[in-house]
Amino acid sequence: MNAHDHDRMKQLLQQALPRIEGEAEPHRDLWPAVLRRLDAETVAVPWFDWAMLASLVGLAAFFPASIPVLLYYL
């Protein structure tokens, strides 16, 4: 594609997709929606907690005798 084609394509694209002039403004106040989004945010559990839980479940599954010991230390 030479420089002429490049400029022609730019012109064509500008004709197909008009530039948005001026400063646009949302039709509604978005702050309540942002707050709702923040409230809906799930509490992130660190990966280490999941690894610890998996280790304990594995221990209890393979060595059931360890369950009373685990319960004792809870």
- Contacts to another protein by CB under 8 A: 1, 5-6, 8-20, 23-28, 30-31, 33-34, 37-38, 41
Distance in Å, CB of 40 to another protein, minimum: 9
Q: Taking the complex as a whole, how short is the minimal distance between the CB of residue 20 and another protein, in angstroms? A: 5
Q: Return the sign of the alpha-carbon dihedral for residues 40, 45, 46, 47.
A: negative
* Long-range contact pairs involving 63-71 (C-beta distance under 8 Å, separation at least 24): none
Find the shortest distance in angstroms from Cβ 51 to another protein: 23
Both structure tokens of 71: 């319960």
